Amino acid sequence: MTSITPDTILLTPGPLTTTAQTKAAQLRDYGSRDHAFIDLTARLAGRLNDIVRGGDEHVCVPMQGSGTFCVEAALGTLMPKSAHALVCINGEYGRRIATICDIIGRRRTILQTDEDQPITAAPVDAALAADLSLSHVVVVHCETSTGILNPLAEISAVVARHRRGLIVDAMSSFGALDIDARNIRFDGLVAASGKCLEGVPGVGFAILRKAALEICRSNCHSLALDLYDQWRAFERSGQWRFTPPTTVVAALSEALDQFDVQGGIAGRSARYRANCATLIDGMEELGFVSFLPRRLQAPIITTWHAPADPQYDFKAFYAKVHARGFALYPGKLTRGDTFRIGCIGAIEKRDILAAVHAISAVVQEMGVTRLKPAPAESHRSDSGLTVSD
């Protein structure tokens, strides 16, 4: 007889800890052409659009795969081959967008700041004014490699004033931080099931401005990732073009029911903010040093400097914390040794407190006494900002 061990609490940026109800929603089999599944897909798309108050001017198009699949789909669909994107980078996921542009053959210019600095509206404004060939701006709302929040509303206002297109990676913010499409103009905003909506991974989705989407026929470099064709298929028959992740869709629908009961964005944001504050307080009390100051920290994921103590080793640290029931995440910074701890998922303050207690026990077991990082050489330019092709 097979026994089921208790779930590890996932303190990561995704996949996340999910509720028993969300897991149970995956136990029913659906046929892709079943009316029940077609109706489920349509309701799901409408509910996701409603979260950003998209209304009739926007449409939600689900796409199979991870969040990055849908980011590539949005870039390839919304930007024609003649497009020129200003890619805003202050972390790994901005760099990934630039890489996608290179692979799919879309010209891009990089606007980059240091990883502990937000991308602000002023340099975006200056770049768009200086280069009229720039047709689109692409920005990550919450940069998951650090947890820093970029000022989406201000950037959107600048892009709209210049009459350029805006594509937003809202992977780590959608459902936890308010984004109102009535006030924030974008061509496309991309997120996924396995983040702040607390579903299971496997579905991405794009909230698209219809006026921008309607002119995108034949733009895409890919058959499978063409959001325009995916949208038209839903419009014609309500069906996915290719085999849909039926149980993932069902789990996301159930997770949205819980999202509504818990107070929507306001309720989720409040829980995540409480988790984040509890985590930072506890880690700092132990002696760890946060990569970001609190004023720049979004309540999604936190980044911590690795201790300078020679007894510290991340692989051993990770394994020992995991053995106590908590999964952490390695760092993704270009400078400095770090690790990350998430605040999102179906977890509460008591889980965070238990995780901090486990981390405290592990550093004592490892004999790590110097939790502060080694002094780092500064790599910041005088302005902290670079623009390059």
Shared domain for 42 and 168, answered yes or no, is yes
Cα 217 from Cα 229, distance rounded (Å): 7
What was the pLDDT predicted at 1?
32
Cα 178 from Cα 266, distance rounded (Å): 8
Shared domain for 253 and 322, answered yes or no, is no
Contact 75, 188 (CB under 8 A): no
**Sorting pLDDT into bands at 50, 70 and 90, what band is 59?**
very high
Look at 377 and 195; give whichever has higher pLDDT: 195
Shared domain for 137 and 242, answered yes or no, is yes
What was the pLDDT predicted at 166?
98
pLDDT value at 294 more than 70: yes
Task: Report the CATH number that the domain containing residue 113 is assigned in CATH.
Answer: 3.40.640.10
Nearest in space to 144 (alpha carbons), one of 117, 111, 170, 181: 170
What was the pLDDT predicted at 28?
94
Q: Give per-residue pLDDT as tens, 64-73.
A: 999 999 999 9
What was the pLDDT predicted at 6?
64
Contact 61, 44 (CB under 8 A): no
**Is the residue at 92 inside a domain?**
yes
Q: Give per-residue pLDDT as tens, 90-137.
A: 999 999 999 999 999 999 999 999 999 999 999 999 999 999 999 999
Task: Report the CATH number that the domain containing residue 273 is assigned in CATH.
Answer: 3.90.1150.10
Shared domain for 271 and 244, answered yes or no, is no
Average pLDDT, the chain: 94
Residue ranges making up the domain that contains 189: 24-261
What was the pLDDT predicted at 377?
53
Contact 162, 178 (CB under 8 A): no
Shared domain for 130 and 118, answered yes or no, is yes
What was the pLDDT predicted at 262?
97
Single out the residue in 242, 261, 280 at which a domain terminates.
261
**Is the residue at 9 inside a domain?**
no
Shared domain for 222 and 240, answered yes or no, is yes
Look at 308 and 14; give whichever has higher pLDDT: 308
Shared domain for 254 and 346, answered yes or no, is no
pLDDT above 70 covers a percentage of the chain that reads: 96
For helices 314-323 and 349-366, what crossing angle results, to 10°? 130
Cα 229 from Cα 226, distance rounded (Å): 5
Look at 386 and 199; give whichever has higher pLDDT: 199
What was the pLDDT predicted at 379?
47
Shared domain for 254 and 334, answered yes or no, is no
Counting the structural domains of the chain, the total is 2
Shared domain for 275 and 255, answered yes or no, is no
3-state helix, strand, coil in the chain (%, to 5): 40, 15, 40
What was the pLDDT predicted at 376?
65
Shared domain for 166 and 250, answered yes or no, is yes
What was the pLDDT predicted at 14?
86
In this structure, how many other beta carbons lie within 10 angstroms of the beta carbon of residue 203? 28
Shared domain for 297 and 162, answered yes or no, is no
**Sorting pLDDT into bands at 50, 70 and 90, what band is 334?**
low
Shared domain for 230 and 318, answered yes or no, is no
**Sorting pLDDT into bands at 50, 70 and 90, what band is 313?**
very high
